[in-house]
Amino acid sequence: MNFAQGEFMMLGAFAGVVLTMLGLPLILAVPLTVAGMAGFGMLVERLAIRPILGQPQFTVVMLTIGMGYVMRGLITMVPGIGAGTHTLPVPYQGMVWRTGGLVLSVEQVAVIGATAALCVVLYLVFRYSRIGVAMQASSQNQLAAYYMGIPVRRLNGLVWGLSASVAAIAGLLLAPITFVHASMGMLGLKAFPAAVVGGFGSLPGAIVGGLVIGVVESLAGFYLPEGFKDVAAYVVVLIMLVVKPNGLFGENLRKKV
């Protein structure tokens, strides 16, 4: 589990902003950012994660939490951009989309459309491609995958590269809506409640879990006193862990001893 995923998103947003500041058009800045973050994710896996393979999962959790703090600290030290707030200029900024009584900003529509397309692509990769199936096998049981001839270490690097590139896409989509700043990665912590509610390892579960958390937070912010909105997601997590620990779409796994 990577608790620095939000910081990967933040770095992707900053990278996109910096490239546009340097004069690159958005059509070039986006793929360069995604590719660069993929390479960065693979580098992090090679230097920080691979040496602790075989250690308890808690070790990886604590390491990624520490990595998140380091990334936030380092980005604030970058002169000229680290301590400020920025936005990513896009051609559709400020435009709205109306259908019936529903009014959405085009930035929000872009997030919805891009997220849906990305989920479809990831589903097809993990469901039908050999490398996607191998990634799933490795995530479920690395030792068994290794004995079956799957290059586990190489796949781990690809997984981290893929996760970093997806985080960069999320950061680029969020950048036109909110300000880009060093603490925007904290938003990535909301993915944990969504994963618990939907079920770890389930792509549809992650989508449904995110929708549930979003609706609960909106209702809590509207009906409950100030401050309850940020707590509501974790209350839902506690309830889910008691009622259905595997999540809405999680599988019941049993170990034979």
- How many structural domains compose the chain? 2
> Are 145 and 230 in a shared domain?
no
> Are 139 and 174 in a shared domain?
yes
Question: What is the reported pLDDT for 253?
Answer: 54
> Are 169 and 210 in a shared domain?
no
pLDDT at 164 over 90: yes
Question: What is the reported pLDDT for 254?
Answer: 54
> Are 56 and 151 in a shared domain?
yes
Q: Please state, in angstroms and rounded to a whole number, the distance separating the CA atoms of residues 233 and 213.
A: 6
Q: Which contacts qualify for 30-35: CB closer than 8 Å, 24 or more apart?
A: 30/172, 33/168, 33/172, 34/165, 34/168, 34/169, 34/172, 35/165
Last residue of a domain, one of 182, 208, 235: 182
pLDDT at 175 over 60: yes
pLDDT in tens, 100-129: 777 888 888 898 899 889 989 998 998 899
Q: Treating both helix axes as pointing N-terminal to C-terminal, what angle do 152-174 and 26-44 enclose, rounded to 10 degrees?
A: 140
Last residue of a domain, one of 142, 160, 182: 182
> Do the beta carbons of residue 205 and residue 217 sit within 8 Å?
no
> Are 143 and 170 in a shared domain?
yes
> Are 191 and 166 in a shared domain?
no
Structure tokens at 109: 């529509």
Higher-scoring residue by pLDDT: 127, 191: 127
**pTM for this one?**
0.86
pLDDT at 257 over 50: no
> Are 11 and 117 in a shared domain?
yes
> Are 110 and 129 in a shared domain?
yes
> Are 111 and 146 in a shared domain?
yes
Domain region containing 12: 5-182
Question: Phi/psi at 180 (nearest 5 deg)?
Answer: -90, 120
> Are 111 and 218 in a shared domain?
no
Q: Please state, in angstroms and rounded to a whole number, the distance separating the CA atoms of residues 18 and 88.
A: 9
Structure tokens at 145: 């995958």
> Are 118 and 221 in a shared domain?
no
> Are 139 and 219 in a shared domain?
no
Angle at the Cα of 248 (from 6 to 2), degrees rounded to 5? 20
Residue appearing with tokens 């380091």: 70
Higher-scoring residue by pLDDT: 187, 257: 187
> Do the beta carbons of residue 117 and residue 124 sit within 8 Å?
no
Last residue of a domain, one of 162, 182, 202: 182
> Do the beta carbons of residue 240 and residue 233 sit within 8 Å?
no
